[in-house]
Amino acid sequence: FLMARKTHVKINRKEVILAKLRKSCSCTPQKLKNFVMNFFPVLRWLPKYQCKEYIWGDVMSGLVIGIILVPQAIAYSLLAGLKPIYSLYTSFFANIIYFLMGTSRHVSVGIFSLISLMVGQVVDRELLLAGFDLNDDAPPALGDGSLQNDSLSNTTAFNLTIAGINAECGKECYAIGIATALTFVAGMYQVSSNGDLSSGFVSMYLSESVLDGFATGASLTILTAQVKYLIGIKIPRSQGHGMLIITWINIFRNISQANLCDVITSAICIVVLVTAKELGDRYKHKLKFPLPTELVVIVVATLVSHYGKLNELYASSVSGAIPTGFIPPKVPQFNLMLRVAVDALPLAIVSFVFTVSLSEMFAKKYAYTIRANQEMFAVGFCNIIPSFFHSFATSAALAKTLVKTSTGCQTQVSGVISAMVVLLVLLFLAPLFYSLQKSVLACIIIVSLRGALRKFRDVPARYHVNKVDTFVWVVTVSACALVSTEIGLLVGIVFSMLCIVVRTQRPRTALLGQIQGTNFYEDDFEYENLSTVPKVKIFRFEAPLYYANRNYFLKSLYSLTNLDPNLETARRKKYEKKEKQHLKKGDHRTANGLSIGETTLQLVPKQIDFHALVVDCSSISFLDTTGVNTLKEILKDYKNLNISVLLACCNPSVIDSLKRGGYFGRDFGSMQEMLFYSIHNAVLFAKDQK
């Protein structure tokens, strides 16, 4: 029997849209208040802040993250191709804005290695196109450390007329101009695409394998870019496709020019950092907060470099002057935005996906909810507003978020504390890092990649769990490392989608047998002791039925049932035609010398051993027009052989598609005899037929 379907009132979309417009356009004091409080969630939770319970954890985690942020900000400036001061600006403004607008209590938003790499690749490309020498890394002369209005111009400044700029602008000025324009456009993409991205329109195509592959491939690129700083050689900066391979070729060509001072420094720093990280991971349950290893290494290395005069005596490359204070805000150049509009799209997507995925992960872990829409606004404005203050793109970072939670973070007040630590460096301490070697910064960056590079150890386990996902990971890693990060991400998404299509093109198919003593049926090939239902074939197709797998559906059905109804019907017609020709000639015996009755037995080469075909539709999630026509086709073809086709376990969507396609006839009168809610009901009906 068929259950009665509920009658749903058809939604008048026009009325719904008009109602939403009326609701959105109306303005009352309460609605205005709700809008402001939703836009700035801090206004909701800060008045309820439980100071005695939360303050210690927030202050402790904020201080620890601030201490970690300073060396990371200086180090990641190498990835972005910018001066360290801009990384500090980025860390400061991102923490303040996310404190005001974010809905996650725990994520740490700021500089992130992958985002810095993507920014740096665009900056390097545009500098090269503008005619600057990318290998001119000489630090500016050490002044008094204060930041004047003309501090953006450097020794390479000249009159430059590019993309509408007609002003005296040096390499550093042009680089930060590109970075801020890129950041502003990425933020605008995130804010303007709020509805689509936050609902998962884009992020749902970024599977875990694609994201892991992207992070690992980008980590290989980051590692490669830092090797020249590790060993102190000067090589041309490679741009475009195949950058990783070209860079390694240049490294080996110039390995004889390695700076012994930088090599020794790098070896010592890596040993210290890795040892401290491993010990920290092993004994983290005994430590109240992580060891500030990066800060200790930077302080010690800076003192050694300064008093040992490593730059003057051994030509070891150093960070150079980091001015104090803030540069006056500046509107990003519109003409530069046009140059980087395409590059900003993958940057916006990656920044959003990492931020929202981390927010959701920690919200689930600590039993609260976030608003994806607001997270998109938050990360968007973390890019838009700081771009006016000489900052570049930001995102949430897993490593710092884990540190925040492990040190007792309760709310985003910890972000304000971290921002204050960065502000202290910006106002007073920045010039002290002048003598810090770039090889030390490269060591910090490389050691921070341990987590992503360890993914290679997981390949055998990943392959054992799912081979297709492993191939997606390998393809994404290879494309990101060997081509470019942006194209690698696109390749990973496309390849992942192709894998899904291929899976649905050739899904599992099976004939089912009955589990003895039950009303359930399973794959006869996979399970033992299943009983075959006499005169009934039960066929399962484990995928949607649509245009791409129609032929595979028919091929599998004919193969498993050992009967192609089209061929059998054609054969019968052929022999019937021959028999009629013999009868017209008055010969009551066929060409084989058999009587007409004997010929009837010969019309079928082998006895058809079933009179009913049950199609298990439980795994068919939808039908397109081709899928409906395919089922209509087999219904007709098997009917010519007096074999009935019964459908079982169809979901409402499939039933509606069959109705619209005319599978049950005009009045649906035959549905009771063609459609069943369980395989067993269909089998019982088939047994009653004969």
Binned at pLDDT 50, 70 and 90, residue 2 comes out as low
Can you tell me the distance from the alpha carbon of 216 to that of 220, in angstroms, rounded to the nearest whole number?
6
> Has residue 482 got a pLDDT over 70?
yes
pTM for this entry? 0.76
Binned at pLDDT 50, 70 and 90, residue 614 comes out as very high
Task: Return the SS3 of 564.
Answer: coil
Please count the CA atoms within 13 angstroms of the CA of 170 that sit on its side-chain side. 13
3-state secondary structure 620-669: CCCECHHHHHHHHHHHHHHHCCCCEEEEECCCHHHHHHHHHCCCCCCCCC
> Has residue 585 got a pLDDT over 70?
no
The average pLDDT across 204-211 equals 79
Q: Which segment of 127-141, 401-415, 419-433 scores lowest on mean pLDDT?
A: 127-141
Residue type at position 238 = S
Domain 509-563+608-689 fold = Transcription Regulator spoIIAA (3.30.750)
More confident residue, 490 or 670: 490
Binned at pLDDT 50, 70 and 90, residue 42 comes out as very high
Residue type at position 354 = F
> Has residue 81 got a pLDDT over 90?
no
> Has residue 681 got a pLDDT over 50?
yes
- Helical (H) or strand (E) element with 168: strand 165-168
pLDDT at 61: 85
Please count the CA atoms within 13 angstroms of the CA of 680 that sit on its side-chain side. 9
Ordered alpha helix ranges (H), 137-193: 171-192
Residue type at position 377 = F
More confident residue, 294 or 585: 294
Task: Return the SS3 of 195.
Answer: helix
CA 90 to chain centre: 24
pLDDT at 690: 65
The ranges of the chain annotated as CATH 3.30.750.24 are 509-563+608-689
Residue type at position 136 = D
